[in-house]
Structure 1
Amino acid sequence: MSAGGGTKAILAALAANAGIAVAKFGGFLFTGSSSMLAEAVHSVADTSNQGLLLLGQKTSQRKPTPEHPFGYGRDRYFYSFVVALLLFSLGSVFALYEGIHKIQHPEPLHAAWVAVVILLIAIGLETFSFITAIRESKAIKGELTWWQFIRQAKTPELPVVLLEDFGALIGLVLALGGVGLTVLTGDPVWDGIGTACIGVLLGAIAIVLIVETKSLLIGEGATREVLDEIVGQLESERVEKVIHIRTQYLGPDELLIAAKIGISPSLSVAEVAAEIDGAEARVRAKVPAARLIYLEPDLARGRTATA
């Protein structure tokens, strides 16, 4: 996926969350619902997060410099990691604090129907954003399950938006449940319970994102399927075996490959150079992300390829 991959999903989420945040804050001021306040802060966090994802896409396209000879592709991983931290600190921690406070000191709601209307509208907008993210993701998900896609995707923005939108929808349902139970029972403690549940949900999603984006940030190699494809393309009649190989993603669309290949000893220097060029061309034809390939010719001595 290109550097702008997932931009449509990000923009859809940005527009939806910005509008929802304004409506939720209005609903909180009108009703005093802590669930509405927690959801409003959640939407502000999500809006900021989408802005950071767009910033990461832009800065990652900077040209390489002497200080950063491999470019800035990992900016997208860095900003996705920041998004996960913000979701945890600004969304989860605040919702937990507000929920516990309202459980300990419940306050009655005013005009709860306003909160219900706003939450129903927000569910509609978040559903639109979520469907957009799903459509964008299907192009690269392939046969993976959604959980496998989130765990294995090298493009960070779409998993982030998918989990954010999923969390937002569940959070809205929890907020709606908290407000609804408060109205039905007349006990405002349910509003606080709904808020605390939103905090737990956001915390769980944030932890998943932190773990996954941290792994990308410090450097992930090619998956076993991609690695097998690379090794298969490197080996030929004149390349007896791949002695060892290392791969690492410098960005979602840029894979670094370094390998030592066993060359037939009967080849001349010119033939070795031609075989290396051919091996690089074969790999790039099958693995477009393989932008940087460094091959070291050697004689095979019974060693096997390692990842």
Structure 2
Amino acid sequence: MSGTSSNTHADQRTRLTVLVALAANLVIAAAKAVGGLLAGSPALLSEAAHSVADSLNEVFLLAALRRSRRPADRRHPFGYGKERFFWSLLAAVGIFVMGGCFSFFQGVEALRAGAEEKLSGYVAGLIVLGVAFLAEGASLLRALHQVRGQGGTARLRDPALRTVVAEDGTAVLGVTLAAAGMVLHMVTGDVVWEASASLAIGALLVYVAYRLGREARDQLIGEAADPETSDRIRELLATQPEIDSVEAVFTMKMGLDTVLVAGRVDLVPGMDSERVEEVAVRIKRAVAHAIPEAGEIFIDVTDRLAREARESPAATGERGGA
């Protein structure tokens, strides 16, 4: 019960972090878009697309937080924990399409057609970027504060929080690149600097989208639990006096804090069926007690001597001859 309460409290803090990032990105996106259109700045318009993509992604993450905590039902007996990974994958796609691709387009278009800006346009654009830097920085500090408060970098296994940190960190770096491109364009009069800033922002967004998307993909298709968790389960099974050998241990993440555990073990010979059932129940309870995140536990127990007899060449030949 305490674990459920702790998870709920962590989700509430993550939801607040996402809402802070959403509010910041909505305001910043509007300011960047207006400033970019008035200044005719490709770098600033690229940053506007970046903020729009981040805003949409925050909506995805809010949906992930709400839907992933739904209880199991007949259609989804293992629960909805993997929805967190699905919505994070959509967020990665959003960063790639809306942010990265548009930034590349703006950079190429600026190199092809050029861009003329007035001093007032430069000033307005740099003011917008300065405000954006402060807002994005505040949002990033909020996210990093939550990471430290919830166990440091280990908490970044939460795809919602990981995405916010990646987005805000990328946004701060993107604003810096855009400002540098505008200043160099203003000083040299050569649009290649600002176009290069747009291309660099695009490359940065594509890289971040790839990393976030790859992690979400691994979790969606059935990523195993941390090696430490798997090793603890194997060691626990090996120490049980009724277990002769641990043949295999399989784990799969079913959500942020839920793991499916399946093990195949050989029992010491000579147990009757009633005793085997009692041992299986006790082993499952021991695993559940030692590994709180083990939501579902399946143990396949066999008698080693009986299994070897079934698998012996003589037995195989008899079955084949029959």
Q: Does 1:276 align with 2:284?
A: no
Deviations 1:175-229 (A, max 9, x none): 0001111111122332222111111111111111121111111110112111001
TM-score by length of 2: 0.85
Structure number with bigger Rg: 2
Q: Does 1:231 align with 2:234?
A: yes
Q: 1:94 aligns with which of 85, 97, 102?
A: 102
Match of 2:41 in 1: 33
* 8 Å CA contact 1:109, 1:188 repeated in 2: no
Letter in 2 for 1:263: L
Which moved further from structure 2: 182-191 or 80-89? Answer: 182-191
Whole-Å separation in 1 of the counterparts to 2:278 and 2:168: 50
Whole-Å separation in 1 of the counterparts to 2:272 and 2:110: 79
Match of 2:16 in 1: 8
Match of 2:195 in 1: 192
* 8 Å CA contact 2:269, 2:303 repeated in 1: yes
Match of 1:65 in 2: 73
TM-score by length of 1: 0.88
Letter in 1 for 2:222: G
Whole-Å separation in 1 of the counterparts to 2:14 and 2:304: 43
Whole-Å separation in 2 of the counterparts to 1:131 and 1:285: 36
Bigger relative contact order (CA 8 A; separation at least 6):
1
Letter in 2 for 1:2: N
* 8 Å CA contact 1:255, 1:291 repeated in 2: yes
**Structure 1, gaps ≥5 residues long:** none
Whole-Å separation in 2 of the counterparts to 1:85 and 1:143: 24
Deviations 1:63-114 (A, max 9, x none): 3333322222111111111111111011101100111101121111232111
Whole-Å separation in 1 of the counterparts to 2:220 and 2:153: 25
- The 5-angstrom pairing of residues 146-225 of structure 1 reads 153=157, 155-225=158-228
Secondary structure at 1:279 match in 2:
helix
Letter in 1 for 2:143: A
Whole-Å separation in 1 of the counterparts to 2:165 and 2:255: 20
**Structure 2, gaps ≥5 residues long:** 1-5, 309-322
Whole-Å separation in 2 of the counterparts to 1:7 and 1:103: 41
* 8 Å CA contact 2:269, 2:304 repeated in 1: no
Q: Percent identity?
A: 31
